[in-house]
């Protein structure tokens, strides 16, 4: 059920427990159900996690394009499809890699702060931010600058 994108799920688990596998499985299922790449948004907390998710998705789709029927049916079944559905979706599953690569807009796999920064950048006036703003990601240096500004003039 967790692989089925028609159901909402909350996944809370420790590192190495399969959260990324599950999210990638859900993206694959969305694509197989006809979702366009640009209709998928996956957000995570770190750039490393976003890159890992991206690498796994694209790697899996590339593998799908080269698998035998039996291998691909097995992979689709472990992602929640029954045998009949998996067999019926073989051509679509094999074509997903090229479909995603050829899409004029890609799947968005980003960090929360990166994606919200892009939203703010798309409409800075209505968001009441300076056009051309930059997100600060160097929190330690920013803290030091603030402390220097705050305490710098004290004797």
How far is the CA of 110 from the CAs of 71, 80, 87, in angstroms? 30, 25, 32
Q: What are 53-97's pLDDT values in tens digits? A: 999 999 999 999 999 999 999 999 999 999 999 999 999 999 999
Q: Provide, rounded to the nearest whole percent, the portion of the chain with pLDDT above 90.
A: 58
Distance CA 56, CA 68 (A): 20
In the prediction, which pLDDT does 98 show? 96
> Residue 121: what are its φ and ψ, rounded to 5°?
-65, -25
19-151 CATH pick, 3.30.300.20, 3.40.718.10, 3.30.420.40, 3.40.50.300: 3.40.50.300
pLDDT tens digits, residue range 8-27?
Answer: 878 888 888 888 999 999 99
- pLDDT of 132 above 80: no
Crossing angle for the helix pair 47-66 and 69-77, nearest 10 degrees? 140
């Amino acid at each position: 059920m967790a692989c089925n994108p028609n159901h909402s799920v909350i996944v809370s688990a420790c590192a190495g427990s399969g959260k990324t596998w599950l999210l990638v499985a859900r993206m694959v299922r969305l694509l197989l159900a006809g979702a366009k790449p640009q209709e998928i948004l996956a957000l995570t907390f770190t750039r490393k996690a976003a890159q890992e998710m991206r690498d796994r998705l694209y790697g899996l789709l590339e593998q799908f394009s080269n698998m035998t029927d039996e291998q691909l049916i097995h992979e689709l079944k472990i992602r929640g499809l029954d045998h009949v559905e998996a067999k019926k979706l073989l051509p679509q599953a094999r074509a997903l890699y090229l479909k995603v690569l050829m899409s004029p807009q890609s799947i968005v796999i980003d960090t929360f702060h990166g994606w919200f920064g892009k939203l703010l950048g798309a409409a800075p006036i209505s968001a009441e931010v300076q056009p051309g703003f930059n997100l600060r990601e160097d929190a330690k240096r920013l803290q030091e600058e603030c402390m220097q500004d705050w305490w710098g003039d004290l004797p």
